[in-house]
Structures are given as C-alpha cells and as structure tokens.
Amino acid sequence: MPLRSLRLRIFLVVLLLGMVPGFIVGASIIQNYEDRAVEQRVATVQNQLMIVANHLVSNDYLATYRSDEQVYINSRNVINAELEMIANLYEGRVMIINSNFKVVEDTYGISEGKIIISEEVIKCFQGENISHYDPEHGYIEMTTPIMDTTGEKSVIEGVMLTSISNGSIITMMEVLNRRVLLIETLLAVVVFVLAIALSVFMTRPFNRITQAIQRINSGYGDESISVPDYVETVHIVDQFNQLFQRMKSLDESRQEFVANVSHELKTPMTSIKVLADALLMEQDAPAELYREFMGDIVSEIDRENRIITDLLALVKMDKKVQDLNIAAVNINDMVELILKRLRPIARKKDVEVVFESMRPVVAEVDEVKMTLIMTNLVENSIKYNKDHGWVKVELDADHQFFTFKVSDSGIGIPEEALVHICERFYRVDKSHSREIGGTGLGLAITKSAVLLHRGTLTVNSVEGEGSSFLVKIPLTFIVS
Ligand code: ADP
C-alpha cells in the first residue's frame, strides 16, 4: 500500500499543512472584502437616501394637501432629479412608496401607481431598515424610511425601496481574486517543493539503517550500525546492535560447542585406535595382552557412550518450558531414592552420605529433570571427595521455595574456576575428571534444568576444604 510509505505521509502532511491554511486565508479575505464592500456601499447609499428622505418630508412630497401647486411641482422635480442622480450613480432604481403602499415615484418610470406590499416595505414601516444582498443577480436591495420628525412623535410617511447594482464590487473582487490566486499558486509551488525536500530529508536516516543492515546481511558490513539522527533511530539501531551481538555470540558459542563435542568424541576414538593398532602390530601377542587392551577399549567405548548420553540430556534441556512434565512430587521421597542409588558408589570411596530434612516438601517439578539435578550434584560431591570424606544433603522449604543443598568435604574448586564450572565441557582438572569418568557436561545439564524450573543454582567452595551447591526452586511452577 503506497500510503504506508512514511515518505509519502510526510509529503502529504506538509503539503496539506502548507496549502490548506493558505486557501482558507485566501477565501476568507475575499469573503471579508465582499461583506465589507457591500456594507460600505449600503451605508453610503443609505446616507444619501436619508438626505433625500429629509427633503421629501420638508417639501411635503407625500402630502395630499398642497397649498401652492407650482411650488410643489418645482420641489418635486428637484427631488426627482436627486433620486435620478442617485439611481444613475449607483446603476440602480429608487421607488418611493407612500403609506398606502402605493408607488408614487419610480426612477424607472414603470411601477408608478402600483401597490407594493412586500415584507421589506412592511418591516420598514414598522421601523426596521432592511438591506439585502443578492450576489447571484448582482444587486443590493434596501429600504429607507421617510420619517417626519417635526411633530412630537416621528411618523413614517413612506418608504424608499432602492436596489443598486454591485458592479464595482464585482470588478474589485475579480482583481482581488486574481491576486489571491497568484499568491496561492506561488504558495502551492513553494509548499510542494518543501514537502518533497522534507519528506526525502526526514526519511533519509531510515534508508541509512536499511542500507547498513543490508551491508551486514551481505557480509561486508561493520560490526555495528550507528544512525544518531533521531532518538527513535538510535533506539532501533541500539536494539538491532544488541540483537546482532547476541546472534554473533550465539553463533560463536555454537561453533565452540561443536568443536568441543568433536574433540571430546574424538578422544576415546583415538585411544581405541591406538590400542587396536598396538594389538595389530604385535605378532603373536599373548592372550593376557589382548584381554588387557580389550578391557581398555571397552572402557573407552563406555566413556564415548557417557558423553553421548550426556549430550542428549543437554539437548533435551534446551527444549521449551512447555515440554516439561510438571507434577506434584514428594521431594523427600525423591531424595531418599537418589541417595539409595548413590550410596554404593560412596561406599566404594568410603564417603559418608547424610540426609537432613527440615520438613516434608511437595513441589511442582518435572520428576526426571529434578532427579537429574540432584543426582549430578550428589554424584559430583562423592566423585570429587577425599577418601573417608562426607557429603551432607539438606532439604528445607519456606512458603515459596524449597532448597536443596549438597555440601562436601571434597577437594574444593579454585576461586577462578567457580564462574566456569557450569560451562559445557569445563573441568577444573581434565585428567582427574577423565579418570573418574567425568564428561564436563554434568553441571551444564544441572544448571539448564534448574533454570527450566525458574530456580537458581549457587556454588560456594574453598579449595582443599570442600564445596556446597545450593539449588532454590519455586514450590509451584510458574508458567510465564
Ligand atoms: P564432570 O563430568 O567433569 O564432573 P561437571 O560439569 O559435573 O563435569 O563438573 C565440572 C567440573 O566442576 C568438574 O570437572 C570438577 O572439576 C568441578 N566440580 C564439580 N562438582 C565438584 C565438587 N563437588 N567438588 C569439587 N569440584 C567439583
């Protein structure tokens, strides 16, 4: 849709804002002039008619009784001449109507003797002066009372009904119209050019953003975009840059992960190949050697298997919250069961495992994933412990969360390693971890599972003394 273009919208808005007021002002100037011109013309003509009306009264023009006929005729002629002059001057017609609504004088000479009972005339007899402009037929009509003010009370003896042409007003209006039109055309041109310039200028930053994104998209752009023209563009660009950085770091971590996975999977394979090659090279190798090497090969295959199992578990953690299998679970029973399964391993290392539960806890969790969290933590505490050491598991809850704490008397974690231990494939001591069958994925899986439950995982450790892992999970699962 073309109207969705910002440039077109700015163009139209500027055009309308620039032109509409111009047209309104132009039209009102013309209208105003016409009203004022008509008003003025009516006032001038009324003035002159009033003077004549006074003459009419003082010369008894409308009187029926005349003392001197000759004097009357003379004065009537003078007045008629005056009326004639006014009629000519204003290209109009003047009629004098007496109190019987009879036309006693008409400058056109056609209506004398006729009766005119029109609304204007009646109103004028009632003392209301009327003027009426008819622009369509080009005339102004007005009434003037012929008022005798000599007596105690003023009496309206007759009415002058005058209509004059608006010719000169029209001529003036035409001149004015032409001028206004000229100014409006000039204004339109200026506003048009301004609208184009503004719409192009104001949308330029957006084009710049598009071009910069295109450059990045095609792979030869800068690392980040900067279009500081407007606050809005700064916001858009900031958000884009953040998104871009996130995508880049995601991509980098994916690459790193793939490299790590390949490396981790390759290591057991290399060992297997070395062992098999050695056997092949050895002619008449004794059966014991075969047995020994085969045993090593099997343990390498086990290791490969563990890595793949852990990787699959990690991939499962990347799934969405909707895929969680949430149910109310008795956490005390769950911990008991896990410890029961792990105690044989602990016994082998002569590590004592104790469980302290402050209260019975039932929480909404995914049972499989929660088991994984607890197993990983307790297993680590046994694995990275000293001989004759201890592992303490504590379970507690308040009205909102339950806490699961695993402390041990183990080897501890160096301070600088604490921030890394949840990273995939991170191991403090690679060879030691390998020896005891670690993949470096356990805590990464644990952390993901905790986050899926909207919980937190905190680690405290003193190297050489022991570590403690605290998991805090909401009792009720919050679907955001
Ligand atoms: P791994 O499979 O190697 O055990 P994890 O992700 O479970 O991998 O743990 C990462 C690293 O953190 C381990 O290699 C180990 O160095 C350290 N670690 C984990 N738990 C403990 C612990 N309870 N005591 C000391 N070190 C630990």
Amino acid 221: pLDDT: 66
Residue of the CA atom closest to atom 13 of ligand 1: 427
Is residue 24 predicted with pLDDT exceeding 90?
A: yes
Which of these ranges, 109-113, 262-266, 283-287, 392-396, has the smallest mean pLDDT? Answer: 283-287
- Buried-state track 388-423, b at ≥16 Cβ within 10 A, e below 16: ebbbbbbbebeeebbbbbbbbbbbbbeeeeeeebbb
pLDDT (average), residues 418-432: 89
Amino acid 62: pLDDT: 83
Helix (H) or strand (E) holding 161: strand 155-165
Tokens linked to 207: 């084009």
Quote the ligand 1 centre to 440 CA distance (angstroms).
Answer: 7
**pLDDT category of residue 149 using cuts at 50, 70 and 90:** confident
Tokens linked to 327: 């149910």
Tens digit of pLDDT for each residue in 40-59? 999 999 999 999 999 888 88
Atom of ligand 1 nearest to the CA of 426: 10
Tens digit of pLDDT for each residue in 196-255? 999 999 999 999 999 999 988 888 767 788 999 999 999 999 999 999 999 988 888 889
Which of these ranges, 35-39, 149-153, 364-368, has the smallest mean pLDDT? Answer: 149-153
Q: What is the mean pLDDT of the chain?
A: 91
CA distance 248 to 223: 10
Report the percent of the chain where pLDDT is more than 90.
66
Atom of ligand 1 nearest to the CA of 376: 7
Q: Who's near 106: CB < 8 A, 6+ residues apart?
A: 93, 94, 95, 96, 112
Which of these ranges, 85-94, 122-131, 316-325, has the smallest mean pLDDT? Answer: 316-325
* Phi and psi based region of residue 165 (left: phi greater than 0; alpha: psi -120 to 50; beta: remaining): beta
Amino acid 1: pLDDT: 65
State whether residue 215 is helix, strand or coil. helix
Whether residue 46 contacts residue 143, with contact meaning beta carbons closer than 8 Å, is answered with no
CA distance 41 to 133: 11
Least Cα distance to 86 among 52, 136, 126 occurs for 52
Burial of 223 from C-beta contacts in 10 A (0-12 / 13-18 / 19+): exposed
CA distance 462 to 459: 10
440 lines ligand 1 (CB under 6 A): yes
Atom of ligand 1 nearest to the CA of 428: 16
0.75 exceeded by the pTM?
no
Q: Hunting for tokens 């919250």 — which residue is that?
A: 321
From 378, 379, 380, 457, mutation site for ligand 1 pocket: most ligand atoms within 8 A of C-beta: 380
Tens digit of pLDDT for each residue in 341-353? 999 999 999 999 9
Least Cα distance to 396 among 356, 423, 365 occurs for 356
Residue of the CA atom closest to atom 19 of ligand 1: 380
Parallel/antiparallel/unpaired status of strands 401-408 and 456-462: unpaired
Burial of 124 from C-beta contacts in 10 A (0-12 / 13-18 / 19+): buried
Q: CA separation (Å) from 66 to 147, 151, 441, 471?
A: 19, 18, 134, 128
Helix (H) or strand (E) holding 469: strand 466-474
**pLDDT category of residue 65 using cuts at 50, 70 and 90:** low
